[in-house]
Every structure is written in C-alpha cells, then in structure tokens.
Chains A and B, each alone.
Chain A
Amino acid sequence: MKRTILHLDMNSFFATVEQQANPFLRGKPVGITKQEGRSCVIAASMEAKRFGVKTGTSVWEAKKRCPEIIFIPSEMEKYFSVTKQLIEIVSQFTPLVEVFSIDEVFLDVTETGRLFGGPFFLALKIKQLINEKIGGWITGSVGVSYNKLLAKLASEQNKPDGYFEITKRNRDKILAKINLYDICGIGWRLTPRLLNAGIRNLLQIREIPDELLQATFGPYWAVELKRLAWGIDQSPVVTSTEMPEMKSVSRTFTLFKNTREEREIKQTMRNLCEEAARKIREMAMLTRQVGVGIRGDDQDASGHQTLKYYLDDGQEIFDLVWQLYQKWHWPFSVRFIGIWLGLLEKRKYLTQDLFPWKRRKTTLLKAMDEVNKRFGELTVYPARLLGGELIRSEVNGYLGDKKYRLG
C-alpha cells in the first residue's frame, strides 16, 4: 500500500517563537544566541536570514552584515514547550507521530488522511490550529510524499508557511535540483567527497556503476547513495513509545572563556557528571563506560574507560573522568568539555548491590533525586559545585534525548 507521510518543519523556529512572545521583535532581524555573552548565532529570524545571517554565524559577523540585528539569548524550555504543543496538535490527526527534532515532526497519515479530506486539507487544519493555539507568528512548512526522505525534501520546497507534495511524477525533477548538503543522510562530510568525484546531484549517482561507487565510497555508502538517488526510504515513522532505549547519555558545555584554572575545570566536569548520572538514574539505568572529551587552544583530546561493573553515581563517574583527564597532562587551556556514559543497562536486569555501603549510597542518591524532583533541579547538589555557576540541564535542538524527554 502506498504510504502518505507528512513532514512538518517549523520556519526559523527559535526566532519566530521569540517574535511571537515579544511583538516588539516582529518584522525585525533577530539572532538567537545560546546565552548572553555567547559569540555565535544558533538561529536567525527570516528577516536576519535575508542579510545572510544563519546558524553558526558569529555575533561579530552578524552585526557586520546586519547592524540592526537584535540578539536574544535562547530559552530552550520555551521552545520545547512549543514542540510539546505541536505534538499535541498533530496527534489529533494520527497516532503515528515521530518527533524528529525540536522543530520537525513526521506524521504517517496513510490510514487517517482521508478522514480529514486528504493531506492538503489535513496540513491546512494543522496550520490553522498552530495559529489558534500557539500564535499567528509561528508558521511551518508541510511536505508530503510516500516516504520520509521525500516528505522531508518536500517541506524544503516551499518556505515559509508552504505546502508541497512530491509524487512519483515530480520526484526526479526535485531530486535533480536539490543541493547535496540538504539531503538528510549525506551530510557535510560526504558532500565534499561527492563534489570532488564530480557528482553534483542525486540523479547522477543513478548512472554510476555499483562497482565504481563501492570502490570510491565503500560498500556501505555505495548502497546508501543508490537508495537516496532513487528516493527510496522504507523506514517507518517511529513514535516516542516505540523508540529504542537510549544506549548512551552525553552532555557537553562550552565555557565562556578559555581556562587553565583546575577548580573551574573540575567544577564543570563534576556538574556535567552529576547531570548525566541523574539522567540515567531517572531512566532506571546504569553505565559501565565513561568517556570525556576536551577542547582548547585548537587542540582536542578524548578518551573513555570501560568497566566491569555498573554505576550511576555522579561522584564515581567524576572520579573516572578526572583520572582520564589527568592522564593527558593537558598543557593547553580548556574551552569545551564533554562527557558521555555508554553501555547503558536497565537496573532491573542487573543484580542488586551486595555491600551495605553501596546500598547506603544508592539510598542517599534516591533521596537526593526525590528532593530535586520535588523542588527543582540542583536544589541539592554536590559540595564541589559550591561557589561556581551551576550548569542546569537543557533541551538541545536535535532532541537527541527524545526517548528521555518524550518516551
């Protein structure tokens, strides 16, 4: 049976939410930065985009291109709250909703589309509801096709606030004109390789013999590229409840300035470890792989340690992270710190703690989590964080932890 997939992509999402919330920003070029004092634009309004300001543009460059630009620090909770409202709206039309990122959702309306007069009228109804329930300034573009790959490409065709359908009839015309960078799955790393090989669009890939593709891009990409070139995508729309359990948890943080101060590095690492540990405890999971990565002075290093036992205590995780860091004898300053916990396993599949001190620790952590759950994050926090700026958990735009947030 031919599927009907709808992709809703919100236009300049963070910026339009800010413009919805503050009418004084409407019609003006707005650049969203991570926090006050950050040097990079993470999202731009449509008005700012006209001046060439886009995600990743430095604040300095954005000001140069558009002196009138207004910088607003991001409020990820605010944007995620709108995402949740969007999910509520689109769930009225089908139970098969996949939250792809903070501003993108896929809907499988194969079975339910006709109840609303087909995908066009369904899209119209969604847009009306967004207008009524969230606000008229927030708009989205809808793409419709018979698979997710093409539906996503379709939503790119008519922006902002548009509607576009890719059928078997117009598919090749669209695939021929789409920029390789814009194709989900190809990415920034593969595109230069394709361009170097003289490949400018997907249709050209169809003509290349499989053997030659394999020799140039390897066996995996040879198959993948052929699939993309024909616009084939059998992947289903995966709802939040169907999503697989998280295999890892990570948290990164960029400091406001480079630092060599051990106390600051320690505090930041401890803070990130605490957040990641709390997250796995909330998911009733434990880890046996701890990793850390740092960057500074154009240098980077990363490493991990795999254990024979499982843990979920932020202090124990931090001790391992600190050991790894100390091994490097890092001579440079630090600007970026990332930690990750891998090989996660559900607590219910593991044996109970054997030693009384370990059980006491588990009880203590449970009590701490309950206090924080009731009164808010970091109401109780490790003493090492005293005197420093507390880093709180936040939603990221890719929504890499959607199983945790929505599942």
Chain B
Amino acid sequence: MPKGKVLILNCLLTFGFSSEKIRISLFLSVKEQMIEKINEPIQVIVKFEKGVLSPLFFSWRHRDYRIKKIEFVHAHHQGTAKLFFFSALGIEANYELIFNNQNFTWRLGKIETL
C-alpha cells in the first residue's frame, strides 16, 4: 500500500473509524478498486413475502450491515444448484449477496462502490 494511504489509514484508526468505513474511503481514493471480489460466507436475515426473498441484514467478519434496498436480482444454474444474485444497496456500498438454493447458504460475492 502506498505510504500516504498507510498514513491516512492510521489516522482513521486513531480517530475510531470502523474498518468498513476505512476500506470504503480507500476505495474512493483509487477508482480502479471500485469492485472488490470477496466470495466469503455470511449470515443473512431474510424476509419471505409473496414468493419474494428479500435480504434485510447480513453479518460479515463479525460486523452487521443493513440493506437499504434490493436493486436487482438475477439467477443462474451451477450444476443442479440455482444461484440467486442480489444486488443489495447498503449504507456505504453496494453488495452482491449470493444465495444457493441447494444447500441454503449465503455468500458475499463482491462489494461495489465509487
């Protein structure tokens, strides 16, 4: 990481910013890093209503994230499993949450921001 960014990171940590906010601020400074692939398991609180599945909150690396809005959903098959991709707008970033309908697991696919 460039020296300047390490300095900013240390300052932010000193003033008690959360790690997510720091990561987001680093995104903002480097345009090419607007999409970060994660692909890690997460825990999700979901609402089932009228046949529609809507994630409301998720927990990743011991931190909770609130979802403001589901912007887009698409699905495709991986073998016999069907994967549902939710583009979930959070407070500071857009998250791609992936639901596997075969083993009922959720993963955080990527984080997108500018």
Please report A residues at the B interface, Cβ cutoff 8 Å: 17, 20-25, 28, 70, 72, 77-78, 80-82, 85, 134-135, 372-377, 379
Contacts and interface: CB of A to CB of B under 8 A. Distances in A.
Given A373-B80, A374-B79, A374-B80, A20 B71 contact: yes
Contact of B79 (A17, A25, A135, A376): A376
A70 B74 contact: no
A24 B79 contact: no
Contacts of A377: 79
Contacts of A23: 71, 89, 94
A198 B1 CA distance: 61
A375 B81 CA distance: 8
A375 B71 contact: no
B34 interface: yes
Contact of A24 (B75, B81, B114): B114
Contacts of B35: 72
A81 B76 CA distance: 7
B19 to A, nearest CB: 20
B104 interface: no
A247 to B, nearest CB: 26
Given A373-B79, A376-B79, A24 B34 contact: yes
28 contacts: A17-B72, A20-B71, A21-B71, A21-B74, A22-B71, A22-B94, A22-B112, A23-B94, A24-B34, A24-B94, A24-B114, A25-B114, A70-B34, A70-B114, A77-B74, A77-B76, A78-B74, A78-B85, A81-B75, A135-B71, A135-B72, A373-B79, A374-B80, A375-B79, A375-B80, A376-B78, A376-B79, A376-B81
Contacts of A81: 74-76
B31 A70 contact: yes
Contacts of A134: 72
A376 B85 CA distance: 17
Interface of B: 31, 34-35, 71-72, 74-76, 78-81, 85, 87, 89, 94, 96, 112-114
A13 to B, nearest CB: 13
Nearest to A68: B31
Given A374-B80, A376-B79, A22 B74 contact: no
* Dominant SS among interface residues on chain B: strand
A78 B87 CA distance: 11
Contacts of B74: 21, 77-78, 81-82, 85
B72 A379 contact: no
A374 B78 CA distance: 8
Q: Which of A17, A21, A81 counts the most B-chain CB atoms under 10 A from its CB?
A: A21
Contacts of B113: 24
B84 to A, nearest CB: 10
Nearest to A76: B76
B87 A21 contact: yes
A274 B46 CA distance: 40
Contacts of A77: 74, 76
Contacts of A85: 74
Contacts of A372: 79
Q: Which of B34, B35, B71, B114 counts the most A-chain CB atoms under 10 A from its CB?
A: B71
B71 to A, nearest CB: 6
Q: Which of B76, B78, B80, B113 counts the most A-chain CB atoms under 10 A from its CB?
A: B76
Nearest to A72: B35
A134 B80 CA distance: 24
Q: Which of B31, B35, B74 counts the most A-chain CB atoms under 10 A from its CB?
A: B74
A80 B74 CA distance: 9
Given A20-B72, A135-B72, A373-B79, 8 more contacts: A21-B87, A22-B112, A24-B94, A24-B114, A25-B114, A81-B74, A85-B74, A379-B79
A21 B112 CA distance: 10
Nearest to A78: B74
Contacts of A72: 35
A28 B59 CA distance: 30
A372 B79 CA distance: 7
